[in-house]
Amino acid sequence: MRGPAWLTAPEDPDALVPHLWSQTARKVDGELHVGGLALPELVAEVNTPAYVLDEEDFRARACAFREAFSSYDVFYAGKAFLSIAVARWVAEEGLSLDVCSNSELTVALRAGFEPARIGYHGNNKTLIELRRAVEAGVGRIVVDSFDEIERLESIAAAGLTARVMIRVTAGVEAHTHEYIATAHEDQKFGFSITSGDAFEAVRRVLAAPGLELLGLHSHIGSQIFDSSGFEVAARRVLALQARISEELAVTLPEMDLGGGFGIAYTTQDDPADPAQLATEMSKIVEHECRALGIPEPRLSIEPGRAIVGPAMCTVYTVGTVKRVQLDGGAVRTYVSVDGGMSDNIRTALYDADYSCTLASRGSDAAPVLARVVGKHCEAGDIVVKDEFLPGDVRPGDLLAVPGTGAYCRSMASNYNHALRPPVVAVRDGVARVVVRRETEDDLLATDMGDQ
């Protein structure tokens, strides 16, 4: 059975491909260690499936973004993964925080995150949600529709001030899967620059008493590996900024270029590092502002995946191994694990690629091409489409999937009444459960029976 052309059997199945794993991950006699802890011992305590979060790695990546983009405000995008502990690490590493729902705001506030350093996103914020954010003193609300502007006007009429950014669609299509490319025109986010809606939104916010317009916001998509998409977007957004300056005599002090910095899920992915992106993006903005004759706005970015994605891996226990005869005589090895699309929907939703490794023992068995699948009632319940695993992979083995920090726990579901796994932070040989495993009581607490 052949997998994709780029996938080759590892020469040493005990070696990790470093850029797919968090910085403290290593194999010791075939056992995977993260944060100074052997995962077989860790999961003996917490069970599987479990997300293992390498705290040192998370902090190092957050710090790398803050240092590389030192003249920017770096907002960690909490939608990738947010918990009280993570919000505190973000604050301690000197980053700001993006939330995109009322409940994410609650987590941030519960963590004691300074409201003035929180940005609030979303394409459908209710009056109640907006009022709460403004009353809490959230530093910036990114408006996404004329309805929201009206809602903020009515809040401001009660004597409150809202600091606002306007999300615009720059008409750039990031080269990623369609559902995660957000800046082409036919989608739900932002005000179109081309149609004139973005300019009109600026006019309305500027005319509204109690609304303070900080600047324009553009997010072009996800899993972006170079600065070319940002370049086109920045050029278009700055052209709008120049028009605003010329026609409305207003200099907008800030501009946000969004998130979307890519990470490596497989050996095929080769993301740029933050320092390189920072240099390129700053040059683009500087050059464009000079050409347009406008002052450079203070820039901000919103990385989520690039900070938390590689910092986490998911550990599963193998339950069954099945060899399936395909047309033409090839055999595919199906390895079923004790989680699946309820803890990682990205493979089913985005056709995402992942890799994995045997985490509980070494093996000299010849590698076989395997497909790692979950235990849910859905044929598309695939965790890793193709990976070489030792041919003696068997029930009871542990498998670890790297790069599951972003959009896995945060998108996890209770499909088949699955209990969402815990997030266990590991650092210097110490494990802390920062999000506990759900229980059947948690699930049944919302089931009101047949009264």
Cβ nearer to ligand PLP, comparing 261 with 316: 261
Interactions with ligand PLP, residue window 282-311 (CB under 6 A): 302-306
Site string for ligand PLP, 100-139 (x = CB under 6 A): ---------------------x------------------
Least separation in angstroms between CB 436 and ligand PLP:
25
Least separation in angstroms between CB 375 and ligand PLP:
28
Q: Is 260 in the site for ligand PLP (CB under 6 A)?
A: yes
Interactions with ligand PLP, residue window 370-389 (CB under 6 A): none
Q: With 0-12 CB in 10 A as exposed, 13-18 as middle and 19+ as buried, what is 16?
A: middle
Nearest residue to 358 via CA among 39, 88, 63: 39
Least separation in angstroms between CB 308 and ligand PLP:
8
Q: Which of 63, 313, 377, 408 is catalytic?
A: 377
Q: Is 344 in the site for ligand PLP (CB under 6 A)?
A: no
Is residue 348 within 8 A of residue 309, CB to CB? The reply is no
Q: For this structure, is 100 an active site residue? A: no
Q: Give the one residue of 39, 52, 77, 352 binding ligand PLP; rule: CB under 6 A.
A: 77
Interactions with ligand PLP, residue window 218-247 (CB under 6 A): 219, 222
49 cis-preceded (ω within 30 degrees of 0): yes
Least separation in angstroms between CB 219 and ligand PLP:
4
Interactions with ligand PLP, residue window 4-43 (CB under 6 A): none
Cβ nearer to ligand PLP, comparing 10 with 260: 260
Least separation in angstroms between CB 141 and ligand PLP:
13
Scanning 77-85, 157-165, 346-354, 439-447 for contacts with ligand PLP by CB under 6 A, the matching segment is 77-85
Cβ nearer to ligand PLP, comparing 220 with 240: 220
Is residue 53 within 8 A of residue 410, CB to CB? The reply is no
Scanning 50-58, 73-81, 285-293, 397-405 for contacts with ligand PLP by CB under 6 A, the matching segment is 73-81
Scanning 76-84, 157-165, 199-207, 393-401 for contacts with ligand PLP by CB under 6 A, the matching segment is 76-84
Q: Is 406 in the site for ligand PLP (CB under 6 A)?
A: yes
Scanning 133-141, 258-266, 339-347, 437-445 for contacts with ligand PLP by CB under 6 A, the matching segment is 258-266
Q: Which residues are catalytic?
A: 377
Binding site for ligand PLP (CB under 6 A): 77, 79-80, 121, 219, 222, 258-261, 302-306, 406
